[in-house]
Structure 1
Amino acid sequence: MSFNASPDVAFGHPVSKVGARRVATVAFAAQGASVAAVYTTVPAVTERLKLAPLLTTALMVAVALMAGGGSFLGLAAIRRAGPVATMRGAMLTAVAALVLLGWVPGQAAVTCAYLLFGLAVGVLDVGVNTRAAEIERAYGRSVFGSFYTAWSVGGVVAALLTAGAARLGWPVAGSLTLQAGIVLLLTVCVRTHALPAPQGSPDAVAQLSLGRRLWVRLIPFGLVLLVVYVIESSVSAWSAVYLRQTLAASLTVAPLAYAAYQVGTVIGRTGADRLVQKLGAVALVRTAALLAAGALAALAAAPGWPFAVLAAGAVGLGASVLAPLCLASAARLRPTASEAVLARLNLFNYIGVITGGAVSGLLGSTGHFRLAYALPAALAVLLLAAARHFTQPSSSARTEGLAQKL
């Protein structure tokens, strides 16, 4: 690889794989924190504004729909300004949405705030995953898991802050403003670091046609991502409501299931990159799918909130590796157009979020929240068939990464 700049600077930015990885880690943490801040405050926002259960369900579905649109807006932004600038803009928009969610006075205004947040998350999602794919290609080995570990850590911190604020008697506006401030601080840390460009000229990359065959090859990954985000949305968007309504937990306790879920994902993702090297992607996906299915069944049958919190943690442990391995494998289908591949794959992501969020919300509003976790348990078994399509960085990619390092 060659650059039209000195060894230390490219396109006006310092060349540093380590720096780029650090910045991407910060962006993933900010995304995880903002998503957790929104989902764990749903019960409090609902009670403050006296929202009907069906309206709350509709708002969660609307967030997912806006995120799907935001994914393609993010693709356009990446092509125009690059992934780092796209991440910055999306993070600032998420900050504004968090503040609005806490302070807006009525149903129409809170609807607009949720829609704005969904748009920001969709843009940020394609931005961070595109950057992660570029960084993994530069390293020549699996590093996707480390980014999603940061996502989960951000989620844990935000969920615990929600619980702590409720314990102290803070209004939801204070909690969301605090969390918006944290995301803003993380945004300030985002800097641009140049990476080795993919093989091929920029014109060739820009003119690359993805074609129908790529859609066919994306189907197994899309199936996995769809099921993963059915699980994710069922736990993330509704676990606090499940504990509150079905298991009679307090507002202080209700966010703990989300926190436990994210703790499980932190543990799973911390070792994901090493496990890929040791066990292989296929075996790891199959093991994780079986664990997630069993834990979801336990969550559905939970006799009380302590058991539910433990089961949610086990769900996170099982589901933790599926999304990063899925996105990394899909990005390797077309390394020179990873942003376009991931934007298309995100369609399955948001279909899963919409399906999981809508079904869970509808079941919950009719008093059948336990079914909302039993159904994804059955779906998780389908992941076993798709596992054989997963790949990991090839030896040639690792050799290229070593050559760039030298």
Structure 2
Amino acid sequence: MSLNVPSRASAWRPAPKAGAQRAATIAFAAQGVSVAAVYTTVPAVTEHLKLAPLLTTTVMVAVALMAGGGSFLGLAAIRRAGPVATIRGAILTAVAALVLIGRAADEATVICAYILFGLAVGALDVGVNTRAAAVERAYSRSVFGSFYTAWSVGGVVAALLTAGAARLEWSVADGLNVQAGIVLLLALCIRSHTLPSSDEPSDTLAQPPLGRRLWIRLIPFGLVLLVVYVVESTVSAWSAVYLRQTLAASLAVAPLAYAAYQAGTVVGRAATDQLVQKFGAAAVVRTAILMLTCALAGMAAAPSWPFAVLAAGAVGLGASVLAPLCLASAARLRPAASEVVLARLNLFNYVGVVTGGAVSGLLGSTGQFRLAYAAPAALAVLLLAAARHFTQPPSSARMESVPPADRADPRLFG
């Protein structure tokens, strides 16, 4: 008689689902650090290179446009090498871009560095969200919120580092080098884990046609995502400039609005999965939209920078659940082609980033930054009708009844 006793090595080996979740969490944190490092250093880079306000606005819009292109580069890379390899390559490219932005000695160099960053973050975006969708399917419960919590924690850390570097009077290059080092360290911790799947291995990646009906079903999520990223872009790219120019904050204080915004998203996203399981996705989305509307109005009317920082935190709390729940619900529309669905949905993301970045930048250059926060507050109210389209992850029992054509392709798990 033999006993099946697990070896010491296998006892310490992490389960594939847990390992994949941990790796995806690290990837989201790396993305959060890199994005925050770029946006919170915009005022310092602008002053260091003496960039014209209109040029700064144009560069930020270009970053968003390049991110849209990078999203499709990421989709092609996923089809060829899988999401984990795509994530690693995109993070390393973002690290190079951060260093180049800090060391840029003229306008042409910094523009090229920002464009490179845009391409990298776009590819990284579709990579991490595709991987997150696969992990959530493996767990058969809401886990998207935990990934975006890591994204927000990374953003808070990077924003505080930017503020600390300015306080210590470090150069822009030194501050960005430190943040690039953090992103690189996180990249080195990402491992590949094969997730369990009930599908038979396939030699070709399943690419079912999306069809017009699916595009119609994506519209509610796309509109929510568009408004969310108008807000995200306005706060991320311009809150530091808003505090600096409109509310007379110092360079050390200016990044604190972004830090507060990300801190609010940390709190909200840490509770997202539990709230969805208890109250349902639609109810959580409705509450978040109402909170977002009030917080944006408060930020627009802020009499001083401390009030603006508090309002930015409330904006983050309201906006925190919308993007992860949008992406999770959209990915469930066609699990076998989630990477394609998410790449298409990201178009709304980048339209929102371009619109928010361009409009708020133009308003800011004319001294009307307050309107850049008041306008999205009015738009956010209109999103309440879209809340009913948000769905919950199917249970394991329900997944067994899903037709094979709509199940996830196993190569997306690698």
Q: What range is the shorter-chain TM-score in?
A: over 0.9
After TM superposition, list the pairs within 5 Å mapping 1:299-314 onto structure 2: 299-314=299-314
Task: Say if 1:89 and 1:289 are closer, same or farther in 2 by CA, change over 3 A.
Answer: same
Q: Which runs of 5+ in 2 are unaligned?
A: 1-12, 401-414
8 Å contact 2:16–2:196 — kept in the other structure?
no
- 1:213 shift after superposition: 1.2
> Given the superposition, is the C-alpha separation of residues 245 and 198 from structure 1 closer, same or farther in structure 2, using an over 3 Å criterion?
farther
- How far 1:394 sits from its partner (Å)? 2.0
CA contact under 8 A between 1:205 and 1:336: conserved in structure 2?
no
Partner residue of 1:211? 211
Q: Secondary structure at the match of 1:382?
A: helix
CA drift of 1:104 comes to: 1.0
Does residue 1:261 correspond to 2:261, yes or no?
A: yes
Aligned partner of 1:393 in structure 2 is 393
8 Å CA contact 1:72–1:123 kept in 2: the answer is: yes
Partner of 1:7: none
SS in 2 for 1:260: helix
Q: Does 1:115 align with 2:121?
A: no
TM-score by length of 1: 0.93
The match for 1:131 is 131
Paired residue total: 388
- 2:21 corresponds in structure 1 to 21
Indicate the larger mover: 368-377 or 200-209.
200-209
**Which residue does the alignment assign to 2:323?**
323
> How far is 1:16 from its partner?
0.5
Question: 2-side partners of 1:231 and 1:113: how far apart?
Answer: 24
Q: Please tell me whether the aligned partners of residues 363 and 372 of structure 1 are also in contact (alpha carbons under 8 angstroms).
A: yes
Q: 1:190 to 1:314 in 2, by over 3 A?
A: same
Shift of 1:209: 1.1
| Counterpart check, 1:340 vs 2:364 | no
- Cα deviation, residue 17, structure 1: 0.4
Opposite residue 81 of structure 1, the aligned amino acid is A
1:230 touches 1:356 (CA, 8 Å); kept in 2?
yes
| 2:78 match | 78
Q: CA RMSD in A?
A: 1.4
Q: How many angstroms apart in 2 are the aligned matches of 1:79 and 1:212?
A: 23
Matches within 5 A, 1:246-257: 246-257=246-257
Segment of structure 1 superposing worse, 193-202 or 296-305: 193-202
Deviation track 1:329-375 (CA, whole Å, cap 9, x = no partner) reads 00000011110000000000000000000000000001000000000
Structure 1 Cα separation of the partners of residues 205 and 15 of structure 2? 21
Q: Percent identity?
A: 80
CA contact (8 A) 2:230 2:376 kept: yes
1:280 and 2:258 are equivalent in the alignment: no
In the alignment, the residues of structure 1 paired with residue 282 and residue 124 of structure 2 have an alpha-carbon distance, to the nearest angstrom, of 28
Evaluate the alpha carbon distance shift between residue 125 and residue 304 of structure 1 in structure 2; reply closer, same or farther with a 3 A threshold.
same
Other-structure match for 1:66: 66
CA distance in 2, matches of 1:317, 1:82: 33
2:379 aligns with 379
Aligned counterpart, 1:8 = none
- Tell me the amino acid that sits aligned with residue 341 of structure 1: V
Aligned to 1:42: 42
* 1:135-146 → structure 2 map (5 Å cutoff): 135-146=135-146
Partner of 2:106: 106
Contact 2:79 2:205 in 1 (8 A): no
Give me the TM-score of the superposition, normalised by structure 2.
0.92
* 3-state SS in 1 of match to 2:329: helix
Counterparts of 1:199 and 1:376 in 2: how far apart (Å)? Answer: 43
Partner AA of 1:237 in structure 2: A
Say whether the 8 Å CA contact 1:166–1:251 is kept in structure 2: yes
Q: Is the CA contact 1:363–1:371 (under 8 Å) kept in the aligned structure 2?
A: yes
Correspondence list, 1:151-230, <5 A? 151-197=151-197, 199=199, 202=202, 206-230=206-230
Task: Tell me if structure 2 keeps the 8 A contact 1:140–1:398.
Answer: no
Q: Is the 8 A contact 1:140 1:397 kept in 2?
A: no
Give the match for residue 239 of structure 1.
Answer: 239
| Partner SS, residue 250 of structure 1 | coil
The 1:333–1:250 alpha-carbon spacing in structure 2 relative to 1, beyond 3 Å, is: same
Whether contact under 8 Å (1:146, 1:273) holds in the other structure is yes
Letter paired with 1:374? A
Q: What SS does the corresponding residue of 1:394 show, helix, strand or coil?
A: coil
Q: Kindly state the Cα deviation for residue 397 of structure 1 after the two structures are TM-superposed.
A: 5.8
